Amino acid sequence: MESRPLSTQSVQNNMDFWQPALLSIDREHLPEMPLLNSRARDIKRTHGYANGAEQIYVDNIVGHQFRLSAKPNYKVLGLDAEIACNWAKDVEARFTDWAEDPDCWIDAEEKRTLTMMARESVRHYASQGEILASAEWRRKSINNRPQTCIKLIDSERLTNPFEQADTQYLRAGIELGNRGQAIAY
């Protein structure tokens, strides 16, 4: 069978019947999110190319270690360039000690380092399109460690209470303010 290029007129005629509804992103995607998420998870789990592509994506964004690159604006701070450089090195070293602590103190669950959490977050964002986390405060500090930690939460757990329908001020588990800003999750 011989294939012929489509003429401009035939493309125009086909496009005349294509009348998609103009909906907000939420109205388009939220009803289908469970199905889309399960499909993305299944493809990632069962398809080698998809899994490999995601791995390359994560490697390119996070790399083998998520590091702080402190570059203080020493002129605005009124500091000497050498003092600012020494300060940056000190802050970077302290940050690395906190972020890559073998006891995983940065993770509220004490299972992952910051690099592990960053890799998991990028991986989740690649398939689900969002990342959900909570900043937590430890009640007591050990060895003067920072008390702030991060708890990663699977975004599929975020839903409206008691399976309520979405409203103007409650959408997909997010309580919204008058201007659409997130107030509570």
* 23 pLDDT tier (thresholds 50, 70, 90): confident
pLDDT at 9 over 80: no
pLDDT tens digit sequence for 106-158 = 999 999 999 999 999 999 998 888 899 999 998 877 777 778 899 999 888 88
- pLDDT given for residue 137 in this prediction: 92
Cβ distance 149 to 108 under 8 Å?
Answer: yes
**Token representation of residue 45:** 């789990």
DSSP E strands in the chain: the ranges are 132-137, 148-153, 170-171, 174-176, 182-184
- Partners of 148 in beta bridges: 137
Judge contact between 96 and 67, C-beta under 8 A.
yes
d(CA 76, CA 68): 21
pLDDT (0 to 100) of residue 81: 94
